[in-house]
Amino acid sequence: MNATAPTQEDWDRQLERLPGLMNIARVSLLLSLVTFHVLVSTYGDEIGLKLRALPVFSAPFYLWAVVYGTLILISLFAPNWQRQGTQMPNARAVADITMIAWLMHIGGGVGSGLGILILPFLVTSCLMSYGRYSLLYASYAVMLLLLSTSMLYWPFKDDSDASFMVQTVVLSGSCYLVAVLTSFSASFLNKATSSLSRHRRAFDRLKGLNELVLNHVNEAVVVLDVGQRVWLMNRQAQNYFPWLQREQQAPAFAWLVQRWQRYPSRAFVTRTEIDGQAVQIRARPLVREDESLLMLFIRSQKDLAAEALSTKLAALGQLTANLAHEIRNPLSAIRQSNGLLSEDNDNPLTAKLHGIIDNNIARIDKMLEEVSSLNKSDRLNPETINLMAFWLAFKNEFLLIRPQAAPCIRFHMESGGSPVKVRFDSAHLQQILWNLLNNAWQHGSQQKGSITVLVKPLQDRHAVSLMVIDDGPGVPAENQAQLFEPFFTTRAEGTGLGLYVARELAHANLGQLDYHPAVKGFELILPRENDE
């Protein structure tokens, strides 16, 4: 599963090794000839070989050995001359073919058998140039072969000399054949490697897209084989089950695999508990040619319930928004009529009843305002907000309504000397802060310093924490789970929509609003401005 296909870089890397291998071949050839020459010269008389020694061992051979040795040294200490581009024939190839043809010539021509050494050097020449100029290299080698044969045997005196010409023709044909085959192989491998590299890149892109999509689905996805081994999983699966690892067994799903094995082609849905989590699992078999797999789509029952509640609340929000629009007109008529009736009536009981009507109309009107603001939460106008400047303006506005709260509010910002800026809809932020501060005022002791507003940048999350804490008794533990639900309130005059609307507005601005029982306060997470 972890094997990777070769790339163009792999092909180039292998070709980069050829010059070093060629140097080894050159050194081996030179040392072999010199060693054989020394042995024949020293011990040839004793074993009767001296007279039969190849004519290569002569003065021209020593000159050839010096030139070839010099070429080897240059290749060892300055190897870059061998790595030319593919736009021109390679000088190294020309040098190698020339040196082998020269060796063959001083050894007595094609009859010495040394001419066959041209073929491997011809192969490497074609490989080094990616199959280009193969016929040019072969033609150059054939030209040297014919030139050597003509110089040594022309005019032909007998049939033995003519046979050398036949050998030359055969060797020449071999040069062309080897060059063509090598060129074809090199070109094919080069194109195949390039094509494979393109397909690999396309596969990697597709794999990346699949992983991106897989990691953004709400469900945990786990793929198992018959041995309970994990083939694939997404980020949500890792969140649900931190112990999961790829290519490792997952015993927690063993019973699911066993159920799948009883009915290999049947999909099924079940509810169970894994690691203390109530989950719903949809299992779908995947039939492959080499191996069958089981894909599990896992969703927490808690998440499913939250999603169902969110859907219901969205529908409820749309319904209440429409109702709010329809209620406003008769509500205005009731308010005006109540005002007219109260003008000419001096009866205290009637005046009290008119006051009750006014208070309830105001309560309904407030509820309609909150519902309307919730319905507009998707109409964002995010802007860069300097929190210190925003707080000062907000505090002045809040104290105009509740001037007695001035000594009760303490504000502290951990700015590190630089302004703290967030990206948020200012109208939404004002509504959220108003709700939190008003709740703190109503539930706190209303004494000096009873309300604390703390602003602190969160470097690890690129966000800002804004906490509103009061010295009141806090939210009872039995009410904390329902705190942000719509229409939940512990006050007779409350609407139960304030905190629900505040959290929805925070989510709409990519923020978060939570209650922390330990400090008896609310924390609003605000996204920071990107340039900070």
Of residues 51 and 478, the one with the higher pLDDT is 478
Residue 264, classed as helix, strand or coil, is: coil
Alpha-carbon span 425 to 506, nearest angstrom: 9
Cβ-based burial of 444 (10 A; exposed 0-12, middle 13-18, buried ≥19): buried
Alpha carbon of 531 to those of 173, 391, 421, 527: distances in Å? 72, 21, 9, 12
The residue with tokens 């044969």 is 149
Q: What is the pLDDT of residue 465?
A: 92
Residue 155: is the preceding peptide bond cis (ω within 30°)?
yes
Please check whether residues 148 and 274 belong to one and the same domain.
Answer: no
pLDDT digits (tens, 9 = 90+) for 401-449: 888 988 999 999 887 778 888 999 888 898 899 889 988 888 888 888 8
pLDDT of residue 2 exceeding 50, the answer is no
Nearest to 143 by CA among 163, 126, 168: 168
Task: Please determine, for residue 376, whether its predicted confidence score (pLDDT) is greater than 50.
Answer: yes
Please tell me whether residues 269 and 319 are part of one structural domain.
no
Instruction: Please say if the pLDDT value at position 3 is more than 50.
Output: no
Residue 280 near residue 271, CB atoms below 8 Å:
yes
Q: 128-182 pLDDT, tens per residue?
A: 766 567 788 888 888 888 888 878 777 666 666 667 778 888 888 888 888 888 8
Does 293 lie in the same domain as 407? Answer: no
Task: Answer yes or no: do 76 and 134 share one domain.
Answer: yes
Q: Give 293-308 as a DSSP string.
A: EEEEEEEEHHHHHHHH
Question: Do 356 and 397 belong to one domain?
Answer: no
Looking at residue 250, its pLDDT comes to 87
CATH label of the domain that carries residue 230: 3.30.450.20
How far is Cα 120 from Cα 134, in angstroms, rounded to an integer? 13
| pLDDT given at position 392 | 92
Whether residues 160 and 33 share a domain: the answer is yes
Phi, psi of 529 (to 5 degrees): -65, 140
Q: Are residues 33 and 121 in the same domain?
A: yes
Residues 358 and 430 in one domain: no
**Which among 400, 422, 428, 417 is positioned nearest to 506, based on CA atoms?**
428
Give which of 81, 37, 28 is closest to 59, Cα–Cα: 37
* 324 shares a domain with 275: no
187 assigned to some structural domain: yes
Whether 204 is covered by a domain: the verdict is: no
Question: Is 130:11 a contact under the CB 8 Å cutoff?
Answer: no
Q: What is the CATH number of the domain that holds 479?
A: 3.30.565.10
**pLDDT value, residue 410:** 92
Comparison of pLDDT for 192 and 367, the residue scoring more: 192
Structure token digits, residue 525: 């997470």
Tell whether 160 is covered by a domain.
yes
Which pLDDT value is given to residue 1? Answer: 43
Q: Do 23 and 164 have their domain in common?
A: yes
Distance of CA 433 to the CA centre of its chain: 38
In the β-sheet with 277-286, what is the strand arrangement from edge to edge?
Answer: 230-233, 220-224, 293-300, 277-286, 268-274
The neighbouring-strand residues paired with 515 are 522
127 sits in which H/E element? helix 118-128
Tokens describing residue 355: 């006051």
For the chain, counts of helices (H) and of strands (E): 14, 12
Residue 51: what pLDDT? 42
Measured between alpha carbons, how far is 188 from 89 in angstroms, rounded to an integer?
20
- 94-127 b/e with 16+ CB inside 10 Å = b? ebbbbbbbbbbbbbbbbbbebbebbbebbbbbbb
Please tell me the predicted confidence (pLDDT) of residue 525.
92
Mean pLDDT check: name the lowest of 228-232, 323-327, 346-350, 497-501.
323-327
List Cα–Cα distances, 32 to 53, 64, 448, in angstroms: 14, 14, 102
pLDDT value, residue 467: 93
Residue 21 has pLDDT above 80, yes or no: no
Domain count of the fold of the chain:
4
CA 173, CA 481: separation in Å to the nearest integer?
A: 90
> Is 89 within the bounds of a domain?
yes
pLDDT at 523 over 90: yes
In a domain, 3, yes or no: no
Together in a domain, 264 and 389: no
Inform me whether the pLDDT recorded for 126 exceeds 70: yes
Of the two residues 367 and 525, the one the predictor is more confident about is 525
Report yes or no on 2 lying in a domain: no
Round to whole Å and give the CA distance between 173 and 178: 9
The whole-number pLDDT of residue 207 equals: 75
- Shared domain check, 254 and 115: no
Per-residue pLDDT of 264-314, as tens digits, reads: 888 889 888 888 888 888 999 887 766 788 888 988 887 777 777 667 666
- Other CB atoms within 10 A of residue 253 CB: 22
pLDDT on residue 323: 67
Per-residue pLDDT at 53 exceeds 60: no
In degrees and rounded to multiples of 5, residue 157 shows phi and psi of -95, -30
CA 41 to centroid of chain Cα atoms: 69
> How confident is the prediction for the chain on average, in pLDDT?
79
CA atoms within 13 A on the CB side of 507: 11
**Helical H runs in 271-347?**
301-343
For residue 50, pLDDT beyond 90: no
End residue of a domain, out of 323, 343, 376: 376
Please give the DSSP secondary-structure letter assigned to residue 27: H
Q: Which residues contact 18 (CB under 8 A, 6 or more apart)?
A: 124, 127, 128
Q: Per-residue confidence at 453, pLDDT binned at 50, 70, 90?
A: very high
**pLDDT value at 6 more than 60:** no
Is 100 among the domain residues?
yes
Domain final residue pick, 277, 303, 329:
303
Model pLDDT, residue 88: 64
**208, part of any domain:** no
Residue span of the structural domain in which 83 resides:
8-195
Instruction: Give me the mean pLDDT over the 500-520 stretch.
Output: 86
Domain end (from 129, 160, 195)? 195
